[in-house]
Amino acid sequence: MLRFIVRRTLQLIPTLGGLSILLFAWLQRLPGGPEYALLPDDATEEQREALRRALGLDEPFTVQYLAFLRRIAQGDLGVSLQTGRPVLTEFLTRFPATFELSVTAMLIAVSAGIPLGYLAARRRGSALDFAAVGGSLLGICTPVFFLAFILKAVFAETLGWLPSAFRLSPGLTRTDITGFVLLDAVMTREWDVLWDGFVHLILPGLALASIPLAVIVRMTRASVLEVLGEDYVRTADAKGLYRRTVRTRHVMRNAMLPVVTAVGLLTGSLFAGAVLTESVFAFPGIGSFVYSATQERDYPALTGFILLIATMYVFINLLVDISYSLLDPRVRAQ
């Protein structure tokens, strides 16, 4: 088991290396470098050339790439051209909000999607099954920002049940320890902050959960249907085991294997995909920052954010593989 984890972790090195090369090459190829963004439109070609030289942009590709790697290794992701602050700082102040939002969305998707998918499979052809399959198709087809607007209009603006924007109500003070609102609130026992933060997560969390929820319902349904037809489920029934033992130990343990993989991949994509939801709910995560960085050609910020998000994605994949090997002994054997 330990060998599997070590080997799988070592495989991250080429993945991350390739990732950094691709990212760097892609950035080099983009038209309109920072010399256009930083200097006024009427700057001369000489001024632009001088700035390029000052930023080291005239060096050969490999030299620039190695310098890039060296800086990353030192934790230096450069300075954001928009704000003048280090990219890493910008990321760390915004990421906790996105993380909490993504995890909330994933919890909603998993806790509703798996039981729903199971019931749909068990009652195949019933009204519930049609509703689950049809609803998940609708969930996949509906653009997230559209759903976000509807949720906001109905539950925040019309009914007034839930807040329509921000991460906390204005005027609420909180003690900041880690940057994670809910975590800090628990640590400092600021229960009003915990509740307020939670309430602010519900609507954006629901909007963001729609696609993962739809995917999880469908995958669970298909997977459970397949497992229900397996001989070992018949064996379990032939042993006279209680229904719930058959369900948890024999059906779900096997049916969850593909779903675990999907959950991992979906979580990774939520970190990057929260941009639209965050902007609808004015949620202070990385989404809005990435959006403006694109507009402003803030390349250091873009490079840094993409690199950090991609790295996280890779590590989530590692976690998925490790949990998969814990769930399925056949993977360990190879």
Give residues in contact with another protein (CB under 8 A): 230-232, 234-243, 245, 249-250, 253-254, 257, 327-330, 333
* Under 8 Å between Cβ of 23 and 303: yes
Minimum CB distance to another protein smaller for 14 or for 242: 242
User: C-beta of 4: minimal distance to another protein in Å?
Assistant: 15
> Least distance to another protein from the beta carbon of 160, Å?
47
- Tokens 């060296």 sit at which residue? 70
Give the whole-angstrom CA distance, residue 165 versus residue 159: 15
Q: How far is the CB of 253 from another protein (least distance, A)?
A: 5
265 touches 274 (CB < 8 A)? no
Q: Which residue has the tokens 């990219």?
A: 87
> Is-contact 51 35, C-beta < 8 A?
yes
Q: Which is nearer to another protein, 70 or 249 (CB)?
A: 249
> Which is nearer to another protein, 156 or 257 (by Cβ)?
257
As measured in angstroms, the least distance from the Cβ of 230 to another protein is 7
Q: Which is nearer to another protein, 59 or 328 (CB)?
A: 328
Shortest distance (Å) from residue 320 CB to another protein: 16
C-beta closer to another protein: residue 10 or 238: 238
| Contact assessment for residue 299 and residue 34, using Cβ atoms and an 8 Å cutoff | yes
Residue 73 vs 333, nearer CB to another protein: 333
Indicate the residue among 159 and 238 with the shorter CB distance to another protein.
238
In the complex, least distance from residue 238 CB atom to another protein, rounded to whole angstroms: 5
Q: How far apart are CA 277 and CA 112, in angstroms?
A: 20
Distance CA 17, CA 27 (A): 16
* Minimum CB distance to another protein, residue 262 (Å): 18
Query: CA dist 53 to 47, 49, 59, Å?
Result: 10, 6, 8
The nearest distance, CB 136 to another protein, in angstroms, is 24
CB of 322 to another protein, least distance (A): 15
Specify the residue, 9 or 235, whose C-beta has the smaller distance to another protein: 235
- Measure Cα distances from 72 to 22, 53, 85 in Å: 15, 21, 16
Of the candidates 73, 78, 104, 105, the one whose C-alpha atom is nearest the C-alpha of residue 89 is 78
Cβ proximity of 293 and 275 under 8 Å: no
For residue 121, CA distances in Å to 69, 86, 244 come to 50, 51, 16
Contact 207, 148 (CB under 8 A): yes
Radius of gyration of the chain (CA): 24
CB nearer to another protein: give 189 or 330: 330
The alpha carbon of residue 218 and the mean position of all alpha carbons in its chain are separated, in whole angstroms, by: 20
Q: Which residues contact 135 (CB under 8 A, 6 or more apart)?
A: 214, 217
